[in-house]
């Protein structure tokens, strides 16, 4: 499932980090696609490493030299390809993202910490808030409060943002 809000999620980063969750490991090919509706061809179609364990998987757009334009809505997808000859059987998930000018929210870059997560989520900068939260979890894997915050965020019960859904 894509880790994305149920609306267009915002970012201030030129090359944000997107996440998807997979419930079990797979050796099947996995592909990331990014669409900009102003163009007919995808911005990117990138084979990803097959998920070797269940959990959250990051797609760091900077790794692929992908830069989002400001004020443009993009649609992104991750597909697990069951049969390369019949893409109708793919398992597909995705979300929508838009890059906004950080000055609109008085954001000038800060250190990733709990306050930063809350600031970003309150400002509606969902993707960056979630990425910061995941960075904190990776740096502090035994901190159960961070994991609970992520669970609450995905359930939409933090009160920080409108109801979210991981699709």
Predicted pLDDT at 14: 95
132: in domain: yes
> Does some domain include residue 33?
yes
- Whether 48 is in a domain gets the answer yes
pTM: 0.85
51: its two tokens: 């998920």
Which domain does 93 fall in, by range? 2-155
The answer as to whether 59 is a domain residue is yes
| Residue 163 lies inside a defined structural domain of this protein | no
> Of 158, 141, 159, which is closest to residue 149 (Cα–Cα)?
158
Whether residue 88 is contained in a domain is answered as yes
- Number of domains observed in the structure of the chain: 1
Residue 49 belongs to some domain of the structure: yes
pLDDT in the model for residue 159? 46
Q: CATH number for the domain including 85? A: 2.60.40
pLDDT by position in tens, the chain (length 167)? 888 888 899 999 999 999 999 999 999 999 999 999 899 899 999 999 999 999 999 999 999 999 999 999 999 999 998 888 777 888 898 999 999 998 888 777 778 998 888 888 888 899 999 999 999 999 999 999 999 888 888 876 444 443 333 43
Look at residue 165 and tell me if it is in a domain. no
């Amino acid at each position: 499932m894509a880790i994305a809000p149920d609306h267009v999620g915002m970012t201030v980063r030129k090359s944000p980090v997107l996440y998807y969750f997979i419930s079990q490991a797979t050796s099947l090919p996995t592909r990331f696609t990014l669409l900009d509706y102003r163009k007919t061809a995808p911005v990117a179609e990138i084979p990803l490493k097959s998920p070797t364990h269940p959990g959250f998987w990051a797609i760091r757009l900077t790794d692929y030299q992908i830069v989002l334009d400001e004020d443009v809505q993009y649609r992104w997808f991750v597909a697990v390809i069951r049969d390369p000859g019949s893409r109708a059987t793919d398992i597909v998930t995705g979300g929508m993202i838009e890059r906004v000018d950080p000055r609109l929210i008085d954001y000038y870059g800060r250190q990733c910490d709990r306050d930063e997560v809350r600031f970003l989520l309150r400002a509606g900068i969902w993707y960056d808030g979630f990425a910061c939260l995941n960075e904190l979890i990776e740096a502090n894997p035994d901190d159960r409060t961070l994991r609970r915050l992520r669970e609450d965020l995905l359930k939409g019960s933090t009160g920080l943002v409108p109801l979210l859904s991981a699709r």
